[in-house]
Amino acid sequence: MSIDVVTHLNFRGDARAALTFYQSVFGGDLAVITYKDAGNVTEEAEADQVMWGQVSAGNGFRVMAYDVPGHLPYEPGEKPFFVSVRGGDVEEISGFWEKLADGATVVQPLGPAQWATVYGMVKDRFGVTWVLDVLPPYIPS
């Protein structure tokens, strides 16, 4: 038996925009269920916000997100988590990096690191910090 680990992102009204952006970066399919779709509207102004959403791509990328309703507390925090995207191809990872970096704050530029062929950290325009890297092939000692 196996499990999948999927990052679940919490927003306050930006979940659809964030998921659409991540789909434009990584490709795949976008699925969204709004509070209205689910018959779970507590505030009419939030009816079209995301109750459950996901981007799932054939390359293995998957992320989930929702909009925290206004009646619940929401503190996005400064750095509550990082989302790690690790691949085996520098060109592919660099392509993701370029798209994520659009409108973002670069924390660590993408480049060689002691532990990785390339490594970089970027805080995207939605406040999510991403770590992207390509590990070198294992060389036994």
Structure confidence at residue 1 as a pLDDT band (50, 70, 90): low
Q: Is the pLDDT of residue 33 over 60?
A: yes
Structure confidence at residue 5 as a pLDDT band (50, 70, 90): confident
Q: Would you state the pLDDT for residue 78?
A: 59
Choice between 135 and 133, residue whose per-residue pLDDT is larger? 133
Exposure b/e, 16-51, CB count within 10 A at least 16 = b: bebbebbbebbebeeebebbeeeeebeeeebeebbb
Q: What percent of the chain has pLDDT over 70?
A: 91
Number of neighbours of residue 109 by Cβ within 10 angstroms: 12
**Tens-digit pLDDT profile for residues 77-134:** 755 578 989 888 999 999 999 999 999 999 999 999 888 899 999 999 998 889 999 9
Structure confidence at residue 2 as a pLDDT band (50, 70, 90): low
Q: Is the pLDDT of residue 138 over 70?
A: no
List the 29-34 sheet strands across, edge first: 7-11, 62-67, 50-56, 29-34
Q: What percent of the chain has pLDDT over 90?
A: 69
pTM, 2 dp: 0.79
In the chain, the domains with their CATH numbers are 7-67 (3.10.180.10), 82-134 (3.30.720.110)
Which of the listed ranges 48-52, 125-129, 137-141 does the model predict with the highest average pLDDT? 48-52
